């Protein structure tokens, strides 16, 4: 108990709830996650190891947040960490976002590190990103949806436009993987596209390692820049997210939609 761990876990992010969530909200999120990741519900094609690890994290988070004393202690630890200046990285500004989108991308190979630790850190980060997107996307009336092969997805609806935001986790992103994802992505667009409203799709491809970075980005940009994917009534963006360095690149034209701009800024800062 005397050891000091500088990396305080964010149990709110693990359950996908805000820090001011009520006990009812926490219980509802917990039950939903248990239904999704319980061993009895994991399908053969799913990642059983990942599901087991998530169940451990979910149970640990619920045990803390459902106990008022432990939750208060957790809140104090989180606030103490937030007051310390971050030495790891600084958020990308919109200007840096634009620079990154046009700058060459070097290959990111798997580093000689602890893969289990890297995976856990990445999972925590992506859960925090999910919560942040959900909070900042409130004007879009976002609600969570489930799609096979996508870690999380949101569907948003306003009077004249539908929004779809999905995140896919790839161990390695390569031209071959992008070709495979683009086929699935097109099928998802056909499934989710509204016939009478305008449509906006944002697909986030998060990766641990990158192969042939320039060609991989070129394929993503080419898809987004197709005439049918870059109109006012049908707009597609792909965000390529480097989990190792916390850098993201926007593929496709930047929309003038201010509501979408808020989401893109969140992803740029991720």
Range of the domain at 30: 11-83
Place of tokens 């053969």: 44
Residue 225's pLDDT band, with cuts at 50, 70 and 90, is very high
pLDDT in tens, 130-173: 888 888 888 889 999 988 889 999 999 998 899 999 999 988 89
- Whether 108 and 227 share a structural domain: yes
Residue 222's pLDDT band, with cuts at 50, 70 and 90, is very high
DSSP state of 216: H
Does residue 246 contact residue 207 with C-beta atoms inside 8 Å?
A: no
What pairs with residue 143 in β-bridges?
155
In terms of DSSP H, where are the helices of the chain? 11-15, 23-37, 48-65, 68-83, 94-102, 115-136, 175-192, 213-224, 258-269
Give the total number of structural domains in the chain: 2
Domain end, chosen from 83, 106, 139, is at 83
Alpha-carbon distance of 135 to 13, in angstroms, equals 12
The helix (H) or strand (E) run that includes residue 202 is strand 198-210
- Whether 117 and 52 share a structural domain: no
- Is residue 119 included in any domain, yes or no? yes
Alpha-carbon distance of 190 to 173, in angstroms, equals 24
Structure tokens at 103: 């700058």
Residue 43's pLDDT band, with cuts at 50, 70 and 90, is low
- What's the mean per-residue pLDDT of the chain? 78
- Whether 39 and 168 share a structural domain: no
Residue of 118 and 204 predicted with greater confidence: 204
The model's pTM is 0.59
Asked if pLDDT for residue 223 goes beyond 90, the answer is: yes
pLDDT in tens, 184-221: 989 999 998 888 889 999 999 999 888 888 889 999 99
Domain end, chosen from 83, 111, 130, is at 83
- Whether 38 and 149 share a structural domain: no
- Is residue 1 included in any domain, yes or no? no
- Is residue 4 included in any domain, yes or no? no
- Whether 109 and 220 share a structural domain: yes
Domain end, chosen from 83, 110, 131, is at 83
What pairs with residue 237 in β-bridges?
202
- Whether 136 and 170 share a structural domain: yes
- Is residue 2 included in any domain, yes or no? no
Alpha-carbon distance of 33 to 175, in angstroms, equals 33
Asked if pLDDT for residue 239 goes beyond 70, the answer is: yes
* pLDDT score, position 82: 61
Side by side, the strands of the sheet bearing 234-242 are: 143-145, 152-157, 161-173, 198-210, 234-242, 247-251
Alpha-carbon distances, residue 134 vs 32, 130, 166, 227 (angstroms): 16, 6, 12, 29
Does residue 208 contact residue 195 with C-beta atoms inside 8 Å?
A: no
- Whether 165 and 256 share a structural domain: yes
- Whether 196 and 143 share a structural domain: yes
């Amino acid at each position: 108990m005397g050891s000091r761990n500088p990396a305080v876990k964010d149990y709110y992010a693990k359950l996908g709830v805000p820090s001011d969530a009520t006990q009812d909200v926490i219980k509802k999120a917990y039950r939903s996650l248990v239904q999704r990741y319980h061993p009895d519900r994991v399908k053969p094609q799913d990642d059983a190891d990942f599901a087991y690890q998530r169940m451990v994290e979910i149970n640990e988070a619920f045990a803390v947040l459902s106990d008022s004393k432990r939750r208060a202690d957790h809140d104090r630890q989180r606030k103490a960490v937030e007051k310390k200046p971050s030495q790891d990285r600084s958020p990308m500004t919109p200007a840096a976002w634009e620079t990154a989108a046009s700058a060459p991308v070097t290959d990111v190979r798997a580093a000689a590190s602890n893969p289990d630790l890297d995976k856990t850190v990445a999972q925590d980060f992506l859960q925090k990103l999910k919560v942040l997107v959900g909070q900042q996307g409130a004007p879009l009336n976002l609600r969570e949806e489930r799609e096979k092969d996508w870690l999380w997805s949101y569907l948003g609806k306003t009077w004249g436009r539908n929004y779809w935001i999905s995140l896919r986790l790839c161990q390695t992103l390569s031209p071959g993987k992008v070709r495979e994802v683009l086929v699935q992505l097109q099928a998802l667009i056909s499934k989710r596209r509204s016939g009478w409203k305008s449509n906006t799709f944002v697909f986030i491809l998060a990766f641990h390692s990158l192969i042939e970075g320039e060609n991989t980005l070129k394929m993503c940009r080419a898809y987004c820049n197709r005439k049918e994917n870059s109109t006012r009534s049908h707009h597609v963006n792909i965000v390529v997210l480097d989990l190792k360095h916390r850098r993201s690149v926007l593929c496709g034209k930047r929309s003038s939609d201010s509501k979408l701009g808020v989401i893109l800024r969140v992803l740029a800062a991720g």
